[in-house]
Amino acid sequence: MALLCWVLPMKFLVDTSAKTLGTLTSDLVAGQLLTPLTNYANAGGVFAMDNGAFSGFKRKPFFRMLERNLEHEERCLFLTVPDIVGNAKLTTELYYQFTKETEMLPWANKWAMVAQDGIEDLTINWWGVRTLFIGGTTEFKDSNACYDVVKAAKILDIPVHVGRVNTYKRYRVFADLGADTCDGSGIAKFSHMLKDIETSVNRKASPDTQADLFTEGVCGV
């Protein structure tokens, strides 16, 4: 018997301007993703902030972004602590040091830890993780080790965000795992990519295809 494990759709946070965000009518869009790289103004709704480390972290623009959005703090889902791409050990060390040093700041309860390659080999103090952001290389993101980290976070009811989701295949895998939100540079730049994913999510499938839709991949039967 098939196990129907996809309950609710994962929502996108889009790295785009307030004007463009207002034109996105997809039910899969929850809000805006702000980064020091694109430096968009806050659209006034639900949002999160990424540190931009995937393209190279810059401290001053990062903290300017925080200051500029302080008045919107209540609507912020999470804020990623600076990370080292592909290095879980250093990223985890940075997370606990950074959150300790900033525990008196207004953003203290918004910090998200970024999961990187090798995190499955580390001891994680989950009590200190408020949100888990799935980063890392493509190889890590498509690995069972990554999927297991997401499963662990969801067992503990920790919100999970997935970076670089630009295809229906990756969207479906992490939606099946229970991830809450995601983003993708392709989704932000090309409207057809979001439409393609939404079409696949909403399509009316035949019974055989529907069984495959819900059971193929990480969920099993």
State if pTM tops 0.85. Answer: yes
- Look at residue 159 and tell me if it is in a domain: yes
* Chain segment 65-124, per-residue pLDDT in tens: 999 999 999 999 999 999 999 999 999 999 999 999 999 988 999 999 999 999 999 999
In the structure encoding, which two tokens stand for residue 150, read together?
Answer: 């997401």
- Look at residue 4 and tell me if it is in a domain: no
- Look at residue 15 and tell me if it is in a domain: yes
CA distance 115 to 92: 8
- Look at residue 3 and tell me if it is in a domain: no
Three-state SS at 145: helix
- Look at residue 89 and tell me if it is in a domain: yes
For residue 198, is it left (φ>0), alpha (ψ between -120 and 50) or beta? alpha
- Look at residue 183 and tell me if it is in a domain: yes
* Chain segment 132-150, per-residue pLDDT in tens: 999 999 999 999 999 999 9
Residue 8: predicted pLDDT:
55
Total number of domains in the chain: 1
- Look at residue 104 and tell me if it is in a domain: yes
| Range of the structural domain that residue 176 is part of | 11-215
- Look at residue 80 and tell me if it is in a domain: yes
Q: What is the CATH number of the domain that holds 165?
A: 3.20.20.105
